[in-house]
Amino acid sequence: LGFGIFLLMPFINKFGARKTTIAGCIVVAISYIICIIFRTSTVVAYAGTFIASFGMRAGVYLIKIFEQQAGDSIEYKHGFRPEGMMSTTIIIAVYTALSSPLQGLYETGLHAFGYNEFAASQPNAVLNWIVFIWYGVVVVEALTIIICLLFFDAEKNEETIKAALLERRKAAVLARGEEWISDEEKEQLEKAEAERIFEENRLADLKEKCEKKGLDFEAENAKYLEAKAAKEAERALKEAKAAAKATAKAEKKAAAKK
């Protein structure tokens, strides 16, 4: 699952997190249903689990996106965000209440269906129970997620909600008589401050180096600035090419729709 986010990004950008997760759950469900049908095949078990792992990536990585969208939606409708210590405590309490009675269910089922740890073979009911726990439960989980996401429409209104929340925060800041600074402006200010500190430290280090080695400070600094300018020009050229490519792709897509 480690590199799964890189595989997901193209699908998220094109189809959105909701549709990507639904597609992933469909892959999981189909893979494990095949494992259930061919339950005695080791090859199918390995292959089905491997393919299902690609579908599982969506659920593992995208749950945070849905939590953020749900938080925005609740704040938009009710004026508060379900975050912080109280929210975490409630989630843990509900999770514990649901999971605690089920933690021993697997072993309880094995013994209820006649499992014998000393026997060379087990009753068919025991084998069915093992197959259900390992594959069937995951299929039920995947189908449950699909059903939930069919009714989860926060992504559809995400841009509208974010714009409205931003305007509310801006109005609240201005109402307190404070200066409004957007997140983009804050990021630029922080970046500029970090660059200023870096430059001060660089010049101090360079002066110290030149004094120790008897070098010309102005000449050494000019070399650095020239190399930096060359790198920035190269990066700007790459960004311009990428932007032109993206624009051409968007125009082609728009023309195809027309």
Q: Which burial class, exposed, middle or buried, applies to 20 when counting CB atoms under 10 A from its CB (0-12, 13-18, 19+)?
A: buried
Q: Which burial class, exposed, middle or buried, applies to 48 when counting CB atoms under 10 A from its CB (0-12, 13-18, 19+)?
A: buried
Q: Which structure tokens are listed for 104?
A: 């021993």
Q: What is the DSSP string of 201-225?
A: HHHHHHHHHHHHHT--HHHHHHHHH
- Answer yes or no: is pLDDT of 3 > 70: no
Write the pLDDT tens digit of every residue in 85-103: 777 788 889 888 888 888 7
Instruction: Using the structure block, give the residue that is written with the tokens 């989630």.
Output: 91
Instruction: Using the structure block, give the residue that is written with the tokens 């009714």.
Output: 151
Write the pLDDT tens digit of every residue in 19-52: 888 999 999 999 999 999 999 899 999 999 988 9
Of residues 63 and 177, more confidently modeled: 177
Quick one: which of 34, 86, 85, 83 has its CA closest to 55?
34
Q: Which burial class, exposed, middle or buried, applies to 71 when counting CB atoms under 10 A from its CB (0-12, 13-18, 19+)?
A: middle
Confidence label for 169 from pLDDT (cuts 50, 70 and 90): confident
**What is the arithmetic mean of pLDDT over 49-70?**
83
Q: pTM of the predicted model, to two decimals?
A: 0.64
Instruction: Using the structure block, give the residue that is written with the tokens 């125009």.
Output: 251
